[in-house]
Amino acid sequence: MKKISERIFYVGVNDDDKVMFEGLWPLPLGVSYNSYLVVDQKVALIDTVESGFEEEFIGNVNEAIGDRAIDYLVVNHMEPDHSSLISYMLEMYPSLVILANAKTLPMLKGYHNVPEERVQIVAEAESVSLGGCSLRFYMAPMVHWPETMVTFLEEEGTVFSGDAFGTFGAVDGNPVDDEDTFEIFREEMMRYYACIVGKYGNPVQTALKKLSALDIKRICSTHGPVWERNIQSVVALYDKMSRYEVERGVCIAYASMYGNTAAAADALAMELESLGVPYAIHDLAGNNAGELGLSGALRDVFKYDTIVVGSPTYNNGIFPPAETFMKALQARLIKGRRFYAFGSYTWAGASVRQLNEYAKSMDFELLGDGLSFPQAYRKDKVDMKAVADILK
């Protein structure tokens, strides 16, 4: 438990054990599930945490409020990393009432069989008083689910923002940011955005416009630090990513069966290095410790303007990890990128042509037909310097 202000207490937990968030995204630095208490004449809990943390969570709550009852549980977002302990809290606090919007109600029933009499539906811009302060609710659909809303504690300029402005990475010690916290979390915030929220650029833009009307002095997200000193940087980064704005640079994303497409990818990286072109390289099939695989590639698609995909031909098509990446780009509505494909084949090349078809479906600018090479990669037969010259 950490006291954030006279009224606000952080009662979230860190998860350093989970290997894959949503079963998909590696967590080399862990993740936090943030929950907050607002303590006034009435007590409101904002969201809960993932299951498995019951003891630590209730310990945090007890440390903040002792045996006082919780009057309200605000459910900003129903994804189970925040809603898993709803049933548990309803049982622990028999007079607790859930504050949620109409879209949340069927999810509360479906996930937790919550009786309607324990839910108070709130509408856009509606306010609920806690006595000396009040909570106001703003709908933020698709940031990250359709029921998502944010809660504004007007008296403290504090927005409880749900997943918005969240980041991977556990938060050790004081959850409130220092001057350098944004730079420490920047890459993980980008990876979180790209993996989790990246499909919803337009809804994020809509939410940002709505929030811009509020006088925000503190952002309490569901994942990562509490933002006070870095609000401008955090909002600017979310704004930029949700507008799909990028810098000049190359994201090389490849998958390889026997190392030939991988060798070509490495050779391209070295050529870009020697040309001074910013780049990142990710093995889409990589699952060794520290490798970010698909999640790292998606992060860097939100960073750089050029996407280069390497895939061998497999079953007369694209090697599955590379095809998964292309579908992930489609799902995230990635636009305005330059594209190049390469890869090896043994008796008939198909992957490069099919990768180009994916790129065309997203209106990417093709920087050529791509480079399809037979059998082994060798420097004297596969000219990755020529490819680097095209990309620079």
Q: Least distance (Å) from ligand FEO to the CB of residue 223?
A: 6
What is the pattern of x (binds ligand FEO, CB under 6 A) and - over residues 125-144? -------------------x
Q: Which two tokens stand for residue 181?
A: 């916290």
Cβ atoms of 384 and 272 within 8 Å: the answer is no
DSSP 156: G
Report the relative pairing of strands 338-345 and 371-374 from DSSP bridges: parallel
Q: Least distance (Å) from ligand FEO to the CB of residue 244?
A: 20
* Contact call for residue 147 and ligand FEO (CB under 6 A): no
Sign of CA dihedral 292, 294, 296, 299: negative
Q: Total residues at the site for ligand FEO (CB under 6 A)?
A: 8
Say if residue 278 is exposed, middle or buried (CB neighbours under 10 Å; 0-12, 13-18, 19+). middle
Write phi, then psi, for 215 (nearest 5 degrees): -90, 90
* Contact call for residue 187 and ligand FEO (CB under 6 A): no
* Contact call for residue 40 and ligand FEO (CB under 6 A): no
Separation CA 99–CA 135 (nearest Å): 10
Q: Least distance (Å) from ligand FEO to the CB of residue 369?
A: 40
Q: Which of 7, 82, 337, 338 binds ligand FEO (CB under 6 A)?
A: 82
Cβ atoms of 186 and 126 within 8 Å: the answer is no
Q: How far is CA 156 from CA 1, 133, 135, 228, 335, in A?
A: 19, 9, 10, 12, 38
Q: Which of 15, 40, 50, 81 binds ligand FEO (CB under 6 A)?
A: 81
Q: Which of 42, 112, 218, 223 binds ligand FEO (CB under 6 A)?
A: 223
State the residue number with the nearest CB to ligand FEO: 79
Selected range binding ligand FEO among 5-13, 73-81, 212-220, 324-332, rule: CB under 6 A: 73-81
What is the pattern of x (binds ligand FEO, CB under 6 A) and - over residues 289-328? ----------------------------------------
Selected range binding ligand FEO among 76-84, 89-97, 168-176, 206-214, rule: CB under 6 A: 76-84
Q: Least distance (Å) from ligand FEO to the CB of residue 182?
A: 19
- Per DSSP, the residues of 195-210 read IIIGGGHHHHHHHHHH
Q: Which of 79, 187, 228, 271 binds ligand FEO (CB under 6 A)?
A: 79
Cβ atoms of 329 and 364 within 8 Å: the answer is no
Residues that bind ligand FEO (CB under 6 A): 77, 79, 81-82, 144, 163, 222-223
